[in-house]
Structure 1
């Protein structure tokens, strides 16, 4: 049993953040969903339970956290790690090895398991989770979704009593989310206690026992899945929560034809070392188009995005801009990419400074208005690394607008975003499109695609599969592509 009794917590140097008067009891074998907007306290609760607060995230704590009747602060960290397994929002932050099998075995090695038992447990994990295709792979070669699977496997191998998962679906494609559903059902059947902090809610409705809604660090509601699904759409959006049923989402695109081509790719292939990632890509895009790039984890979506921006060097084929050949350096000059792991592109010591970092003659009015549109003004003097994952995403999106490039590429821009933040990013993408930008978005987010995209480019198995115009008449085809019943 997990008990949070009269918890008040605030991070040092972050006024207003944390938790206020939180009381929550989680029984053994329960599956609990923590939901609410970015920064509402979901991750903070998981950090209190696994002991990262206050050991690694200092702050002022009042109240008590009990694990099976014992104060969590009385457990040495190694003992907590035996009972509690954590899967972080960014799996890269919990890796200690360079290959997948060693990473799965890492926790077991630290428990000094005998070699035979260790190998048996790794083999069982790979079989149970059906990740044979990820065996003996370099972690550096894996996609974000594949890394997430390895992070989950490394926890599963240790067989903890309690699982804490922070945004586990944020980097996963639709099929991988179905795999995650099965993994959650598996550990729930094993009697494990599960806490999931999540923005994407639809895939959990038939798994969780209770849904805890948090707002500004306080518990504002506790629901059963049936009660939660009865919340009116208008109220759910006001709560800044994502859809609980994707089948009810419809396309908002009214564009019926493609724009005149400005950017063209002809017979473009991309390689990693000598291995072909994608071959013979042919596409065109015009000003004002918003093109979603979709496909399975590891299909080459990010590689294509990087090639469009000139960031991926190993390519063959021809790129054209306004009919003129375009080399890699020219692509770098006219494009901007918001990376999937946003931490790679945050350099400044405040949000406002980040918004004009590296930009000559920045437009102060544009900076202020962009921060206001994305809800970043209250954080303008804060260090970007003190923000939540969703807030960091918004900072990177703000920079993309301020830098005034013609081609903008977003890699999973809604990863870790609540409904309100997703809607704000969607609004910004539409505004950028109305300004005549060409926009590509690597995404698994059907709700976001329906709000923003004019076309969807489907890549899989090393090739270009489909190029679909997003419209109400293509809705069934879109739902089939995203595996929505």
Structure 2
């Protein structure tokens, strides 16, 4: 690939190696990584070559921590201009030599959409957010308004123009993020796990956004674990493994992969699977017979109305949650699922309602704080210690280093025990918080999107751990949009619709 002529709208990585800077270590662009050295960080990349042609849609896939996010950061200039480290090789984006320019010079050439859209928002109102990138580029006000009209129409967000972004659902926020990324008319769009916290209708709308970009002739690079929604969109799939290109194939070849070959590559399903197909992959202890009259936790009279809203965000007269079982809570973005978890945990002072244990004890809000453990959707909010092993030990009722290491080993984290949690990939951070929840030994353990950012193998591990927790006497509540995880882990399922129990 060396010496290849650059073409507008193309993305070229020419024998690129990048090693993230470690604490207390110098970094620079002129330090040359040795391709023969073992990769110390799963997100490092070595001697990677990739050419994305103008107008092509390319999928980056592979196991968690294989380097997908690193490639997206190279494409949008976050490496080396935000994330320091040792970089060699050529990175050319839309004809621009990325290491030798400034990140603001890339703004009109590449747009980015992240798994958590909040990481790219700067304004409080939707229309202000759309205008912001154009204002930074000193685009004339009349032209900004013209672009806003067209972009809001393309992404079906005109009715959200004057809304507060914080009051939107996750799916609505992701649509706003896609629209904002389009406002500078970039030739290249880069997306990193954009569906990680989206429901099925929101994913369908995101799919329409990608189709809009394809019709406009834009180049798209997308790192993703959930593959089924990309059928018919992806021109080429690039499978990464330990920071290197392991395999390339067309979109049709990706869809044609058999289960064994797909799983060996660390890939999730490329089409919607039947529940029976997913459950066949569970270990023997996972299937548990249900009892007609099993003990339950009883939720009564839960009601929560936010200021300015005409209807309550939660209105649950009664809900029975089977003890020592896994209950899956599903529903569209904005249905009240996360609000329910906050009430269960005792974090919401303004919601009414009671929780009664199987023994008949009513738990106060303070007691719920002590007896529940929640793994939040944004796991970075609950990672506090400088080492992974300390994160797990901090959750234990009585510190037990051997047990903490066993939990890490069960989740493929033992090699990362001494790493800082925030230095890990998104999927690895997710598994660290799952490990901390397991170590807590609290009677109710709740998870908000625990399979976010996880590949097939690690999603199976988390599903196995959820059901193993239940088999050991824990009551497990899981909020998810992931149909694979729901099929694998559920004993009981509850659907929330506009804050109420659905049919």
What is the TM-score normalised by the length of structure 1? 0.92
Measure, in 2, the Cα distance between the counterparts of 1:281 and 1:245: 37
Which has the higher mean CA deviation after the structures are superposed, 232-241 or 177-186? 232-241
For the 8 Å contact 2:275–2:488, the answer to whether it is kept is no
Quote the offset at 1:171 in angstroms. Answer: 1.1
For the 8 Å contact 2:64–2:454, the answer to whether it is kept is yes
Measure, in 2, the Cα distance between the counterparts of 1:100 and 1:291: 35
> Per-residue CA shift, 1:83-124, capped at 9, x if unaligned?
100112222222212233222221111122222332332232
Quote the offset at 1:359 in angstroms. Answer: 4.5
1:266: which partner in 2?
Answer: 300
- Alpha-carbon distance change, 281 to 128 in structure 1, aligned in 2, over 3 angstroms: farther
Which has the higher mean CA deviation after the structures are superposed, 429-438 or 318-327? 318-327
Quote the offset at 1:281 in angstroms. Answer: 4.1
Quote the offset at 1:414 in angstroms. Answer: 0.6
1:8 equivalent among 17, 33, 37: 17
Matching of residue 462 in structure 1 with residue 499 in structure 2: yes
Match of 1:402, SS state, is helix
Counterparts of residues 117-266 of structure 1 (less than 5 Å)? 117-250=143-276, 252=279, 255-257=289-291, 260-266=294-300
For the 8 Å contact 1:259–1:289, the answer to whether it is kept is no
Unmatched segments (≥5 aa) in structure 1:
467-485
1:476: which partner in 2?
Answer: none
Measure, in 1, the Cα distance between the counterparts of 2:92 and 2:292: 58
Quote the offset at 1:358 in angstroms. Answer: 5.7
> Per-residue CA shift, 1:428-456, capped at 9, x if unaligned?
10110101111111100000011101122
> Per-residue CA shift, 1:254-310, capped at 9, x if unaligned?
645566233101232122236310213421122221111111111111001111111
1:316 equivalent among 352, 355, 366: 352
Quote the offset at 1:313 in angstroms. Answer: 2.0
Counterparts of residues 268-307 of structure 1 (less than 5 Å)? 268-273=302-307, 275=309, 276-307=312-343
Quote the offset at 1:203 in angstroms. Answer: 0.7
2:364 equivalent among 327, 338, 341: 327
> Per-residue CA shift, 1:347-371, capped at 9, x if unaligned?
0001011112264522222211100
Measure, in 1, the Cα distance between the counterparts of 2:104 and 2:293: 58
- Alpha-carbon distance change, 259 to 393 in structure 1, aligned in 2, over 3 angstroms: farther
For the 8 Å contact 1:29–1:188, the answer to whether it is kept is yes
Matching of residue 418 in structure 1 with residue 455 in structure 2: yes
Q: What is the number of residues matched between the two proteins?
A: 466
Match of 1:211, SS state, is strand
Q: RMSD in angstroms over aligned alpha carbons?
A: 1.8
